[in-house]
Amino acid sequence: MKTNGVRVLDGLNIAYELREYEVDIEDLSAETAAQKIGLPPEQVFKTLVARGDRTGIILAVIPGNAQLNLKALAPLSGNRKVETVALKEVQPLTGYIRGGVTTLACKKDYPVFVDELIEIYDVVSVSAGKRGLQILLAPSDYIQAVKGIVGAISQEKT
Protein backbone atom coordinates (compact mmCIF):
# COMPACT_ATOMS: atom_id res chain seq x y z
CA MET A 1 0.00 0.00 0.00
CA LYS A 2 1.62 3.24 -1.15
CA THR A 3 0.75 6.37 0.80
CA ASN A 4 2.33 9.73 0.05
CA GLY A 5 4.52 9.24 3.14
CA VAL A 6 5.77 5.93 1.77
CA ARG A 7 6.46 7.56 -1.60
CA VAL A 8 8.63 10.18 0.15
CA LEU A 9 10.73 7.42 1.74
CA ASP A 10 10.98 5.58 -1.59
CA GLY A 11 12.17 8.78 -3.25
CA LEU A 12 14.90 9.14 -0.61
CA ASN A 13 15.88 5.45 -0.90
CA ILE A 14 15.13 4.92 2.80
CA ALA A 15 14.52 1.36 3.96
CA TYR A 16 11.30 0.76 5.89
CA GLU A 17 8.74 -1.88 6.76
CA LEU A 18 4.97 -1.37 6.66
CA ARG A 19 2.69 -2.86 9.31
CA GLU A 20 -1.04 -2.84 8.87
CA TYR A 21 -3.51 -3.27 11.71
CA GLU A 22 -7.25 -3.16 12.28
CA VAL A 23 -8.44 0.27 13.36
CA ASP A 24 -10.79 0.78 16.29
CA ILE A 25 -12.41 4.15 15.57
CA GLU A 26 -13.17 4.49 19.31
CA ASP A 27 -9.49 4.16 20.25
CA LEU A 28 -6.98 5.83 17.95
CA SER A 29 -4.25 6.03 20.61
CA ALA A 30 -0.61 5.34 19.87
CA GLU A 31 -0.64 2.80 22.71
CA THR A 32 -3.31 0.75 20.93
CA ALA A 33 -1.50 1.01 17.59
CA ALA A 34 1.69 -0.16 19.31
CA GLN A 35 -0.03 -3.19 20.80
CA LYS A 36 -1.54 -4.13 17.44
CA ILE A 37 1.80 -3.95 15.59
CA GLY A 38 3.78 -5.66 18.35
CA LEU A 39 5.96 -2.80 19.60
CA PRO A 40 6.16 -1.12 23.01
CA PRO A 41 4.29 2.25 23.06
CA GLU A 42 7.50 4.20 23.64
CA GLN A 43 8.75 3.00 20.23
CA VAL A 44 5.64 4.16 18.37
CA PHE A 45 5.90 7.90 17.77
CA LYS A 46 2.84 10.09 17.33
CA THR A 47 2.65 13.38 15.46
CA LEU A 48 0.96 16.38 17.05
CA VAL A 49 0.14 19.66 15.35
CA ALA A 50 0.94 22.85 17.25
CA ARG A 51 1.00 26.59 16.64
CA GLY A 52 3.79 28.85 17.82
CA ASP A 53 3.26 32.54 18.51
CA ARG A 54 6.17 33.43 16.21
CA THR A 55 6.51 30.57 13.71
CA GLY A 56 2.94 29.46 13.15
CA ILE A 57 2.28 25.76 12.53
CA ILE A 58 4.86 23.21 13.68
CA LEU A 59 4.78 19.44 14.05
CA ALA A 60 5.92 17.62 17.18
CA VAL A 61 6.81 13.92 17.16
CA ILE A 62 6.83 12.22 20.56
CA PRO A 63 6.69 8.69 22.02
CA GLY A 64 3.24 7.13 22.09
CA ASN A 65 3.28 6.77 25.87
CA ALA A 66 4.21 10.42 26.52
CA GLN A 67 2.63 13.84 26.29
CA LEU A 68 3.94 16.95 24.62
CA ASN A 69 5.85 19.39 26.82
CA LEU A 70 4.74 22.72 25.35
CA LYS A 71 7.12 24.72 27.55
CA ALA A 72 10.09 22.74 26.18
CA LEU A 73 8.87 22.90 22.57
CA ALA A 74 8.48 26.69 22.58
CA PRO A 75 12.17 27.71 22.86
CA LEU A 76 13.36 24.80 20.69
CA SER A 77 11.01 25.96 17.93
CA GLY A 78 11.86 29.67 18.28
CA ASN A 79 8.61 30.58 20.00
CA ARG A 80 7.66 32.19 23.30
CA LYS A 81 4.47 30.16 23.50
CA VAL A 82 3.17 27.05 21.74
CA GLU A 83 -0.23 25.37 21.91
CA THR A 84 -1.68 22.36 20.17
CA VAL A 85 -4.24 23.17 17.50
CA ALA A 86 -7.90 22.23 17.79
CA LEU A 87 -8.75 18.82 16.35
CA LYS A 88 -10.96 20.44 13.68
CA GLU A 89 -7.86 22.25 12.32
CA VAL A 90 -5.67 19.15 11.95
CA GLN A 91 -6.99 17.87 8.62
CA PRO A 92 -7.19 21.29 6.87
CA LEU A 93 -3.61 22.03 7.97
CA THR A 94 -1.97 18.67 7.30
CA GLY A 95 -4.23 16.82 4.87
CA TYR A 96 -4.44 13.94 7.36
CA ILE A 97 -7.17 12.78 9.71
CA ARG A 98 -6.71 12.09 13.43
CA GLY A 99 -5.03 8.73 13.86
CA GLY A 100 -3.28 9.07 10.51
CA VAL A 101 -1.25 12.27 10.85
CA THR A 102 2.34 11.99 9.67
CA THR A 103 5.15 14.47 9.09
CA LEU A 104 5.88 12.76 5.77
CA ALA A 105 4.16 14.46 2.80
CA CYS A 106 2.13 16.96 4.80
CA LYS A 107 0.06 19.51 2.91
CA LYS A 108 2.83 22.05 3.63
CA ASP A 109 6.46 21.66 4.62
CA TYR A 110 6.07 22.51 8.32
CA PRO A 111 9.05 22.52 10.71
CA VAL A 112 9.32 19.15 12.50
CA PHE A 113 10.53 18.73 16.10
CA VAL A 114 11.30 15.21 17.26
CA ASP A 115 11.71 14.10 20.86
CA GLU A 116 15.26 13.03 21.66
CA LEU A 117 14.07 9.65 22.99
CA ILE A 118 13.75 8.54 19.36
CA GLU A 119 17.54 8.17 19.23
CA ILE A 120 17.69 5.33 21.78
CA TYR A 121 15.95 2.84 19.48
CA ASP A 122 17.18 0.88 16.47
CA VAL A 123 13.71 0.98 14.93
CA VAL A 124 10.71 3.23 15.53
CA SER A 125 7.22 3.34 14.12
CA VAL A 126 5.38 6.38 12.73
CA SER A 127 2.09 6.76 10.92
CA ALA A 128 2.20 6.13 7.19
CA GLY A 129 -0.46 8.83 6.72
CA LYS A 130 -3.43 6.49 6.95
CA ARG A 131 -5.22 4.99 9.92
CA GLY A 132 -4.19 1.38 10.40
CA LEU A 133 -0.82 1.66 8.65
CA GLN A 134 2.52 2.22 10.37
CA ILE A 135 6.02 2.67 8.95
CA LEU A 136 8.91 1.05 10.82
CA LEU A 137 12.30 2.58 10.11
CA ALA A 138 15.60 3.66 11.62
CA PRO A 139 15.30 6.86 13.68
CA SER A 140 18.21 8.52 11.87
CA ASP A 141 16.50 7.87 8.51
CA TYR A 142 13.24 9.32 9.81
CA ILE A 143 14.93 12.46 11.18
CA GLN A 144 16.74 12.93 7.87
CA ALA A 145 13.57 12.41 5.81
CA VAL A 146 11.56 15.01 7.77
CA LYS A 147 14.50 17.38 8.39
CA GLY A 148 13.68 16.99 12.07
CA ILE A 149 15.15 19.06 14.88
CA VAL A 150 15.76 16.83 17.88
CA GLY A 151 15.23 17.93 21.48
CA ALA A 152 13.61 17.05 24.79
CA ILE A 153 9.95 17.85 24.06
CA SER A 154 8.01 15.06 25.77
CA GLN A 155 7.10 14.30 29.35
CA GLU A 156 5.34 11.52 31.19
CA LYS A 157 1.58 11.57 30.90
CA THR A 158 -0.08 13.16 33.89
> Is residue 142's pLDDT more than 90?
yes
Full residue range of the structural domain in which residue 144 is found: 4-156
- The span from the CA of 146 to the CA of 38, in Å, is 24
- The span from the CA of 57 to the CA of 84, in Å, is 9
Q: What is the mean pLDDT of residues 8-37?
A: 95
> Is residue 49's pLDDT more than 90?
yes
CB neighbour burial string for 93-116, b if at least 16 within 10 angstroms, e if fewer: bbbbeebbbbbbbbeeebbbbbbe
> Is residue 153's pLDDT more than 80?
yes
Q: Transcribe 79-103 into DSSP letters.
A: -S-EEEPPHHHHHHHHS--TT---S
Amino acid making up residue 73 = L
Q: What is the mean pLDDT of residues 109-135?
A: 97
Q: What is the percent of the chain with per-residue pLDDT over 90, rounded to a whole number?
A: 95
Mean pLDDT of the chain: 96
Q: What is the pLDDT of residue 158?
A: 82
The more confident residue out of 42 and 2 is 42
Domain tally for the chain? 1
> Is residue 1's pLDDT more than 80?
no
For 56-105, how does the pLDDT look when each residue is reduced to its tens digit (9 = 90+)?
A: 999 999 999 999 999 999 999 999 999 999 999 999 999 999 999 999 99
Helix axes 139-146, 4-11, angle to 10 degrees: 100
CATH number of domain containing 70? 3.90.960.10
Q: What is the mean pLDDT of residues 21-50?
A: 95
Q: What is the percent of the chain with per-residue pLDDT over 70, rounded to a whole number?
A: 100
